[in-house]
Chain A
């Protein structure tokens, strides 16, 4: 290796500390490529024996330039980028972004879309929580629970692929509605999957909830109080596990949540077990919401009949000149969003996912900024790690559910 290559294999960002502060302290690098950290994150920890004295969290290893990409794409063509933020629950990102653009444009979506978006958001939330729980318990050794959850998650993915065309990153939301309507038999399969879900998750409860090893590894580990959590900006299941019943779906209802009957599960202690259990209960609440939505779903069009953002019907595009020009303009220039700015937040699986959009009146955004819950949680992660053991880093990090795409954007 030449000297040039040697030099660049050093840590990309200098650590906050490089000498130990305790007598027998050792500084250890839990590097970006690590089996037990799901996603790329580096933690530089000072250990005194097994205890973590100080921790310096380095994220940014998956910074893919989302905001810069958005500035060169139209409001429509950046929807696939938005998908890949929290890739475990891609539909929630889609719908939050589309909602922000629609509010800025002054477009009101149709009732069917409203209910469908709610249903699909909850469905995505189930997939996300499943992934988080599966990955975090696998790190503690529970391979069986991982495989059960992966099985049912795979069925959900295939089912969503029937609807949207893709298993993971769906890109299904459109400004003014959705890409297309439900295929035949989709809701029947949904009912089947929800029944299978009950059975599988029942097994997980049986395996994990009262498992002595799991409780020992997660109870009273990574504890944070509500006040500290709010000080460090936690939202979502992390905040709810501390006991504060804060949920944007209940507090500032959007989409169809005001018509649904659901509970907001909260934890007691703010430790890892609570985060696990809050996620399990939230999945159950999501299933309950989906069942209600399946009854409430009205018939009607999917896309709003607004030529500023919705494409005209294909037969019209081929026969009428106005529709042709409309289609052409929407594809080449993008929907013209009036100048202004908006901050709109939805309750994503990890917390408050906010989109701050700045428009300068053209079809390309001036700025698209994402307030990513995982990024803010990483800011407070050291609070959860300090004072606990090295092996608890794995357990805590799993339950925090850091999604790299969202954290680093």
Chain B
């Protein structure tokens, strides 16, 4: 903690300075980010926003043969307040879109969104008045899993890519102004 107190010099966020003191700060924050990233990526609480046929593959991927529990991502939390990964599984129609937006907005940071299946990614082959042509029209998406429905291996690949993203991102719990 003395190190932090000594380093509360400099301006801005202290991350991009050239001198040695803030270099040490950067090293510590990087390690902190890696630690938190590691913890977060292996304890994902999905909110399965399940609508259509992809639900079959979601059930398969959560079960014993292809297990998401080994990634720490099996325990669903059905309250948006308690979950951090919004898995949009299946087609979202225009009637359902307000509900999706509401659930997304109720989730707390940090949160990620996974578009599971082509219907969530881009509307699938329902190019008509009823289906929302991709959920990224209303909420930001982190990982897209194509497939109609995607094989469980694709889903696991998607989860692993999301884990890489979580591990590699910055987690600003403590910053200069804390």
Which residues of A are in contact with B by a Cβ distance under 8 Å? 1, 5, 8-10, 12, 31-35, 38-40, 60-65, 68-69, 80-81, 84, 87-88, 131, 134-135, 146-147, 150-151, 153-154, 157, 167-169, 404-405
Contact = CB atoms under 8 A, between A and B. Distances in A.
A64 B56 CA distance: 18
Contacts of A88: 56
Contacts of B107: none
B120 to A, nearest CB: 13
Contacts of B50: 38-39
A154 B60 contact: yes
A168 B101 contact: no
24 contacts: A9-B102, A32-B99, A33-B103, A34-B78, A40-B51, A40-B96, A61-B96, A62-B51, A62-B93, A62-B96, A64-B130, A64-B131, A65-B126, A65-B131, A68-B128, A81-B125, A87-B52, A87-B53, A135-B59, A147-B63, A157-B56, A157-B60, A167-B149, A404-B51
Nearest to B102: A9
B93 A63 contact: yes
Contacts of A32: 96, 99
B55 interface: yes
B59 A150 contact: yes
Contact of B126 (A10, A64, A167): A64
A31 B80 CA distance: 13
Contacts of B49: 33
A405 B53 contact: yes
Contact of B64 (A8, A147, A157): A147
Interface residues of B, number: 36
Contacts of B103: 33
Interface in B86-104: 90-91, 93, 95-96, 98-103
A152 to B, nearest CB: 10
A169 B65 contact: no
Contact of B93 (A31, A64, A168): A64
Given A65-B128, A69-B128, A157-B60, A168 B78 contact: no
